[in-house]
């Protein structure tokens, strides 16, 4: 600025900025607008886990989100990581491929057990249903226990979902929407 100031005889000055300086926290809120809502949604989703495990997984999801991931991708990356994500004893979020019948057969009973249902789930092998139909049947079976299977849209080819108490489904779906995540009963 000194060179231009001398060149133009002191007429080259920059006015002060109109906006006040932002703090680091304000900048992070602007760059990642769903941070607090994603943390609340993840905390609600993991409510049945022990406090220490829940806090660890919420931090993992927040870390992925702060690295620039979309909210749904951060949720899936934080929880479904084979090494550092959720354990099979505390399974909350399940992901199966379109043709992942073997994965579903392995993960569904663990998800049912972790949600507190004592009865073992074994899905019927008759006919050739699609994975979407298998998940709809799974949701109907869960309804008999006062629970529902809620699907989370990740934008990928996997079916991702969790078991939720029937009376808290609407509030959880609303929290997901506030966190920038699309969730519903029917498969995406």
> Does residue 1 surpass a pLDDT of 60?
no
> Does residue 51 surpass a pLDDT of 70?
yes
**Single pTM value for the model:** 0.79
The verdict on residue 3 lying in a domain is: no
Q: What is the mean pLDDT of residues 140-164?
A: 92
The verdict on residue 6 lying in a domain is: no
**CA-based end-to-end distance of the chain:** 57
User: Which structural domain range is residue 139 located in?
Assistant: 21-184
pLDDT tier for residue 122 given thresholds of 50, 70 and 90: confident
Please state the φ and ψ torsions of residue 120, each to the nearest 5 degrees: -80, 135
- As for how many domains the chain has, the answer is 1
Is residue 114 within 8 A of residue 136, CB to CB? The reply is: no
Instruction: List, for residues 67-109, the tens digit of each pLDDT value.
Output: 888 999 999 999 998 889 899 889 999 999 888 788 888 999 9
pLDDT at 8: 66
The verdict on residue 9 lying in a domain is: no
The verdict on residue 82 lying in a domain is: yes
> Does residue 12 surpass a pLDDT of 60?
no
pLDDT at 13: 63
Higher pLDDT, 186 or 105: 105
The verdict on residue 90 lying in a domain is: yes
pLDDT at 126: 73
The verdict on residue 100 lying in a domain is: yes
């Amino acid at each position: 600025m000194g060179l231009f100031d001398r060149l133009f005889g002191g007429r080259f000055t920059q006015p002060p900025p109109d906006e006040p300086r932002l703090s680091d926290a304000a900048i992070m809120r602007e760059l990642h607008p769903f941070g607090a809502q994603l943390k609340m949604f993840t905390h609600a989703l993991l409510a049945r886990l022990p406090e220490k495990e829940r806090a660890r997984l919420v931090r993992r999801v927040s870390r992925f989100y702060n690295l620039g991931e979309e909210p749904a991708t951060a949720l899936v990356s934080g929880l479904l990581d084979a090494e550092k994500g959720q354990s099979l004893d505390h399974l909350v979020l399940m992901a199966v491929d379109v043709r992942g019948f073997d994965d579903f057969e392995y993960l569904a009973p663990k998800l049912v057990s972790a949600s507190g249902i004592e009865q073992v789930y074994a899905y019927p092998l008759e006919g050739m249903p699609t994975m979407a139909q298998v998940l709809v049947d799974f949701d109907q079976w869960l309804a008999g226990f006062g629970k529902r299977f809620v699907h989370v849209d990740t934008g990928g080819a996997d079916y991702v979902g969790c078991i939720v108490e029937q009376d808290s489904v609407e509030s959880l779906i609303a929290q997901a929407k506030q966190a920038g995540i699309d969730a519903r009963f029917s498969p995406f």
